[in-house]
Chains A and B, each alone.
Chain A
Amino acid sequence: MTALLQVEDLHVTYRGSTGAVPAVRGVDLRLERGRTLALVGESGSGKTSIGRAVLGLHPRGVRQRGSITLDGTELLGLPAPAWRKIRGRRLALIPQDPLAGLNPVHPIGRQVAEVLVRHRLAKGAEAREQAVQALAEAGLEDAERRYGAFPHELSGGQRQRVLIAIAIVARPELIIADEPTSALDVTVQKQILDRLALLTAELGTSMLLITHDLALAADRADEVAVLADGALVELLSGSDLLHSARTPAAQHLAAAAPTLDSPALIPPPANPAPVETVPLVAAHDVQVVFPGRGVREDVRALDGVSLAVRPRESVGIVGESGSGKSTLARVLLGLQAPTAGRAEVLGVDQGRRLGRAERRAARRAVQPVFQDPYSSFDPRRTIGASIAEPLGALTRIGRRGQARRVAELMDQVRLPATAAGRRPRELSGGQLQRAAIARALAVSPQLVVADEAVSALDVSVQAQVLQLLARLHQEQDLALVFISHDLAVVRQVSTRVLVMRAGRVVEQGPTAEVLTSPTTEYTRALIEAVPGRTPTGERR
Chain B
Amino acid sequence: MLRYVLRRLVQALIVLWGAVTVSFAVLQLTPGDPVRIMLGGAGDAAAAASPEQVAALRAELGLDLPLWQQYLDFLGRVLTGDLGTAYSTGQPVTAEIAQALPVTVELGVAAIATSVVAALVFALLGVLLPGAGLRSLFQSVTVLGVAMPSFWVAIVALQLFSFRLGWFPAFGSDGVVAVVLPALAMAVLTAGTLAQVLTRGLKDALTEPYADTARAKGLSEVRVVLGHALRNASLPVFTMVGMMVGGVLGGAAIVETIFGRQGVGQLFVEAVRAHDFPLIQALIILTGGVFVLVTLAVDLLYPLIDPRVVAPYRSGRTGGVDLTARTEVA
Interface of A with B (CB < 8 Å)? 55, 57, 60-61, 80, 83-89, 91-93, 95-97, 100-106, 111, 114-115, 118-119, 150, 152-155, 163, 166, 293-297, 299, 322
Contacts and interface: CB of A to CB of B under 8 A. Distances in A.
B218 A101 contact: no
A83 B216 CA distance: 10
B31 interface: no
B91 interface: no
Given A101-B210, A105-B306, A87 B218 contact: yes
A82 B21 CA distance: 65
A293 B213 contact: no
B18 to A, nearest CB: 25
Instruction: List the 5 closest pairs (A to B, CB-CB), nearest first.
Output: A88-B218, A93-B216, A88-B217, A87-B218, A100-B209
Contacts of B219: 84, 88, 114, 118
Interface residues of B, number: 35
Given A105-B305, A152-B317, A115 B217 contact: yes
Contacts of A111: 213
Contacts, number: 111
Nearest to B232: A105
A422 to B, nearest CB: 26
B320 A152 contact: yes
Contact of B209 (A95, A150, A166): A95
Contacts of A97: 209
Interface stretch (B8-16, B167-175, B181-189, B308-316): B308-316
A267 B3 CA distance: 57
A57 B232 contact: no
B228 interface: yes
B3 A294 contact: yes
Contacts of B306: 104-105
Nearest to A87: B218
27 contacts: A55-B216, A57-B212, A80-B220, A84-B218, A84-B220, A87-B218, A88-B216, A92-B216, A95-B216, A96-B209, A101-B213, A103-B214, A105-B305, A105-B306, A114-B227, A118-B223, A119-B218, A152-B311, A152-B319, A153-B311, A153-B317, A166-B213, A166-B217, A293-B313, A295-B314, A296-B315, A296-B316
A294 B319 contact: no
Given A88-B217, A105-B307, A150-B307, A93 B210 contact: no
A55 B216 CA distance: 7
A95 B212 contact: yes
Given A87-B215, A93-B216, A294-B312, A104 B232 contact: yes
B231 interface: yes
Given A95-B213, A100-B209, A150-B307, 16 more contacts: A85-B218, A87-B216, A87-B218, A88-B216, A95-B209, A95-B212, A100-B208, A101-B212, A102-B213, A104-B232, A105-B231, A106-B231, A152-B307, A152-B311, A154-B317, A297-B315
B70 to A, nearest CB: 40
A94 to B, nearest CB: 9
B272 interface: no
B40 to A, nearest CB: 59
A236 to B, nearest CB: 29
A92 B218 CA distance: 9
A153 B318 CA distance: 7
Given A89-B218, A114-B217, A118-B218, A152 B321 contact: yes
Given A118-B218, A296-B314, A93 B213 contact: yes
A104 B308 contact: yes
A265 B212 CA distance: 41
A57 B219 CA distance: 12
A268 B317 CA distance: 42
A295 B232 CA distance: 27
Contacts of B221: 80
B218 A102 contact: no
Given A152-B320, A294-B312, A296-B316, A163 B218 contact: no
A296 B311 CA distance: 10
Nearest to B231: A105
Given A88-B218, A105-B231, A119-B218, A295 B213 contact: no
Contacts of A92: 216
Contacts of B312: 293-294, 296
Interface in B216-239: 216-221, 223, 227-228, 231-232
A150 B216 contact: no
Contacts of A152: 307-308, 311, 317, 319-321
A89 B217 CA distance: 7
A103 B228 contact: yes
A57 B218 contact: no
Given A87-B215, A104-B306, A295 B3 contact: yes
Q: Which of B232, B307, B308, B313 has the most CB of A within 10 A?
A: B307
